[in-house]
Amino acid sequence: MKRNILITGGAGFIGSHVVRLFVNKYPDYHIVNLDKLTYAGNLANLKDIEDCPNYTFVRADIAELDEMRRIIKEYEISGIIHLAAESHVDRSIKDPFTFARTNVMGTLALLQAAKEYWESLPEKYEGKLFYHISTDEVYGALELTHPEGVPAPFTTKASSDNDMAYGTEFFLETTKYNPHSPYSASKASSDHFVRAYHDTYGMPTLVTNCSNNYGPYQFPEKLIPLFINNIRQGKPLPVYGKGENVRDWLFVEDHARAIDLIFHKGKVAETYNIGGFNEWKNIDLIKVIISTVDRLLGNPEGQSEKLITFVTDRLGHDMRYAIDSRKLQSELGWEPSLQFEEGIEKTVRWYLDHQEWMDNITSGDYERYYDDMYKNR
């Protein structure tokens, strides 16, 4: 079936994997990738599909309502997968207004533009969907109830009782929102607007909340690519507090598969949690990264552990996130495809094999290139 799908934030980390999957898997779809190309957006992430006949890139700011109206109407968009967001907690602490503008007002502009266009059509909302990708951070934090004597590394698939190493409490789709950072507060607000547009106007919407992603093409302000690059260059590895904070990690291609499945088979107005059933303390994760990078670079075992530098903890730093994905597993049959050991090996190899990409990102040359390319458009 011919469909015109708008994917926002498609030049970013998760978005580029979703765009690639849809372009390659659905040749009858026209995929419109809308990205502002801020520091975290890079079209080099999509070089392999940029000339595909069913792919179009549009540079635009989601917070510009008239632009969203024009684009949605021009391309006759029938489905929106909304990933565009400011997402780095540290940046949100320093500049909360940018996060409110992009994450809240940008989402609202997209919703309003889609509502106006879809309601103008004879079929109105039939065959339409606004799919909003959110984060587990909107739920707040969980207690670290098993802090001592936990074996590391720890990985598991979903189990019937969902009992993991660092606690027995998990984020459910029904968990009360309790955001603790400007980033998570902005995402929580955008989630509420999406649901409000369904409840008020009848717009077909979906929301998913996902755990930490890792994999190729992630901007190197995030922990895993930052530490891989710092180890390669012999730079310090800054660890917040004592490194005891726990996160649930999911390989980005597994997230993209989940988005594909939910977009096509998820129930309108539902929320689905997406997680890796894969909890790690930060310090244990860092040691696995060090071990893997040192081995692949041919360094003596443990050589780079001396680069670990403990720094003052982040303001409002949540102790533990853990997603319960059993609803997604039972209703739609999704589960992670990779164990963490396989995923981290694949990830480290990718970054070490793509130093040109990394150097271009860290130098900032790509931003200047795009500014020059689009300044007269």
Q: Is 199 exposed, middle or buried (0-12, 13-18, 19+ CB in 10 A)?
A: exposed
Which member of 131, 183, 197, 321 is catalytic?
183
**Residues 304, 294: Cα–Cα separation, whole Å:** 7
Using DSSP bridges, classify how beta strands 237-240 and 308-311 pair: parallel, antiparallel or unpaired. Answer: parallel
Residues 6+ apart with CB under 8 A from 236: 230, 307, 308, 309
Task: Specify whether the CB–CB gap between 272 and 335 falls below 8 A.
Answer: no
DSSP helix/strand/coil, 298: coil
Tell me whether residue 183 is one of the annotated catalytic residues.
yes
Is 90 among the catalytic positions? Answer: no
Indicate left, alpha or beta for 301 from its phi (over 0: left) and psi (-120 to 50: alpha): beta
Q: How far apart are CA 246 and CA 10, in angstroms?
A: 28
Contacts of 286 (CB under 8 A, 6+ apart): 223, 227, 237, 239, 243, 308
Could you write out the three-class secondary structure of 309-326?
EEECCCCCCCCECCECCH
Out of 29, 86, 131, 137, the active site residue is: 137
Catalytic residue among 35, 136, 248, 284: 136
Residues 170 and 141: beta-carbon distance below 8 Å = no
Q: Is residue 4 helix, strand or coil?
A: strand
Catalytic annotation, residues: 136-137, 183
